[in-house]
Structure 1
Amino acid sequence: MEGLRVLELYSGIGGMHYALKESGITAQVVAAIDINTTANQIYTHNFPDTTLWNKTIEGITLDDFNKLPFDMLLMSPPCQPFTRIGLQGDIADPRTKSFLYILDLLPRLSRLPRFILLENVKGFESSSARDRLVKTLMECGYTFQEIMVSPTSVGIPNSRLRYFLTAKLSAENGSTQSSKILDAFPHPAESGSPERNAALDPPHPATCQPEEDMQGGHVLYKQETKIDAQRKLSQNNDLSVRQIQDFLEPQREVNVEHYLLPPRTLLRYALLLDIVQPTCRRSVCFTKGYGRYVEGTGSVLQCCTETEMEKVFRGLDQLSEEEKLQQLLKLQLRYFTPREVANLMGFPQSFSFPKQISTKQKYRVLGNSLNVVVVSRLLQLLVS
């Protein structure tokens, strides 16, 4: 196949671009577009030769788009209008304005892109925005496939269930079949797990509990139900998923003191933590609030594995503040480093941050990004 010309919208830190490289598809990103200045600094740092437009999508005219004809459109529109923890404004949310603008422009392009890939959160598949997308694609002559996929399906020990839509012009020999997509993402045997890969045709609202409700971030160690405990045990016993330790930085390269949870956080939020060990095969979704907020933002790592967690938490509520802290400190709990989060999200070792980007900013942009390996597999299926 000749090299594809690719337009990357909502380019962020370059997750789609890295997925394209990972896929092995011969392609060139002719332009990337985003308004997040921090993300743009990181994107330019990693892809200095790619044209990056730091402007709103609505500010780009139809003529501008026609001047850079593209074969593939990659996009991950703002997810806030579709998450349960937000206001669920859907198309009434101002943040969907740019996406609706794209849907308006698509039929009027001088040349339609042959391939489209879109990523978003659970909740998008039951939205009015999704309905408008599907209507536009059908009117333009696309066949499409929708699926919910988590990185656990490609052996990565991190839950990040997301909605994906892949579309191709009908002249491109039809759509990717649901069975082929599901075969490419064999689901690990997680007993009772809410994370089930599913091809959506049509989308079913029941498949779409919010990430924050079901990823384990709200489950407390001593308050978790038997089902929660069994689910975690099942995930940790699933040999199709790699261990957390495969994604950790070498100990000599990590200043552990910098990432240890402070005493105040331990005392106040100990029971809210999702704690994993290096040998675990699971971790909960990392969000943009990781490192600042505790509940539902991502797992923390137990560095001292010789200490039994159950012994530390047993009778914890009956101890004084000082005794409680001494017990919790035995676990040596720390945050995953930004590099480790990037590893769990499939970013290659060649990915790096500019020196001026703070740790807080790194967590924030990673939490807004996507899993590179999952998108890479979908791109391979789309173009094959």
Structure 2
Amino acid sequence: MATLRVLELYSGIGGMHYALQESGIPAQVVAAIDINTTANQIYRHNFPDTPLWNKTIEGITVDDFNKLSFDMILMSPPCQPFTRIGLQGDIADPRTKSFLYILDILPRLCRRPRFILLENVKGFETSSARGLLVKTLSECGYTFQEVMVSPISVGIPNSRLRYFLIARISSEELKVSEILDAFPLTAESDSSNQPTVLSPILSPPTGQSENNMEGSHILYKLETTTDAQRKMDQNKDLSVRQIKDFLEPHVEDSMEQHLLPPKTLLRYSFLLDIVKPTCRRSVCFTKGYGRYVEGTGSVLQCCTETEMESVFTGLDQCSEEEKVQQLSKLKLRYFTPREVANLMGFPQSFSFPAQISTIQQYRVLGNSLNVVVVARLLQLLVS
């Protein structure tokens, strides 16, 4: 295959670029475009030879795009207009302006790209933006498939369910069976992490709501029996690797700086998602990891000899000092940014410039994507 010329939109820290490398497809990124200055510093640090445009997409003319003569578009538009915890402004949100501009210029390009891959959050699949996307692609002669995939399906112990669309100009349709072969069903019972190929009209099954506590009594740590059973099932799934495979080898030497402070332990102990190195699961790491606790990512129990139940049972009856003493037995710490990057499939060659703070590293990783998942989709798209 001839080397593909690739345009990387919303390039962030280069997750798509790394996925392209991981896929083994002969390709050259002819331009990467983003306006986040921190992300651009990291991108340039890792890909110094790739042209990086620090400008708004809607500020680039059709002529400028035509001059790039690209064969493929990779893009991960801003997710805030579609995320479940946001306002869900959809196409009325100003942050969709650049994406709508892309849909507007696609039919007007001198040479339309042969391949397109788009990633976004769960929620995009029911948006008006998605409706405009598939309408534009159909009118431009693309065949496409949409799929919801989590890294669990490629053996990575991290839940990060995302919407993906792969499209190509071809008379040969993308086969659903090939997609499902690339992302096999896991043995776990949690349907929210299973790969789902979407029909052209219908939304995917949502599975049981994470907040649905009907028929489940609370155990210690504000956890229902249903929650506990789901986590046990996930940890029994031998098709998924263990957390310890993704940990930094010598981080215990500097563990103190990653330990959860007493104030955090006191305030959020009953809400923490705690995993051990032998676990085969972790929750999605978001851009708030390290700053906020609830719903931003799992924390690691370093002292595995201590039973979690023994620490949490009767904890609410203890004084604050006793609570801290009890909780400290678990030696709970944040995953390091390098470990989060490992769980997101970034290669060991990926690194951060020295001036990027730990909080900034967590933030840009939370905005990125799983490299291994995208690499498999690219292989399917180009095959």
Q: Which runs of 5+ in 1 are unaligned?
A: none
Whether contact under 8 Å (1:193, 1:231) holds in the other structure is: no
Alignment of 1:1-384 (within 5 A): 1-170=1-170, 173-202=171-200, 204-205=202-203, 207-208=205-206, 222-251=221-250, 255-384=254-383
Which letter maps to 1:240?
S
RMSD: 1.7
Using the alignment, how far apart are the partners of 2:273 and 2:62 within structure 1?
47
Name the SS for the 2:221 alignment partner.
Answer: coil
Name the SS for the 1:301 alignment partner.
Answer: strand
Using the alignment, how far apart are the partners of 1:166 and 1:109 within structure 2?
19
Report deviation, 1:204. 3.7
Q: Percent sequence identity over matched residues?
A: 79
Q: Which runs of 4+ in 1 moved over 2 A?
A: 202-214, 219-222, 251-254
Using the alignment, how far apart are the partners of 2:71 and 2:332 within structure 1?
47
Return the TM-score normalized by structure 1.
0.96
Whether contact under 8 Å (1:161, 1:211) holds in the other structure is: no
Whether contact under 8 Å (1:147, 1:164) holds in the other structure is: yes
Using the alignment, how far apart are the partners of 2:81 and 2:207 within structure 1?
15
Whether contact under 8 Å (2:220, 2:313) holds in the other structure is: no
Name the SS for the 1:207 alignment partner.
Answer: coil
Whether contact under 8 Å (1:8, 1:75) holds in the other structure is: yes
Which letter maps to 1:151?
P
Report deviation, 1:188. 1.1
Using the alignment, how far apart are the partners of 1:160 and 1:192 within structure 2?
13
Q: Which runs of 5+ in 2 are unaligned?
A: 213-217
Which letter maps to 2:327?
L
Report deviation, 1:233. 0.3
User: Cα deviation per residue 1:218-254 (whole Å; 9 max; x = unaligned)?
Assistant: x995221111111100000000000000000012575
Whether contact under 8 Å (2:73, 2:113) holds in the other structure is: yes
Using the alignment, how far apart are the partners of 2:209 and 2:70 within structure 1?
33
Using the alignment, how far apart are the partners of 1:24 and 1:55 within structure 2?
29
Which letter maps to 1:121?
V
Using the alignment, how far apart are the partners of 1:375 and 1:336 within structure 2?
23
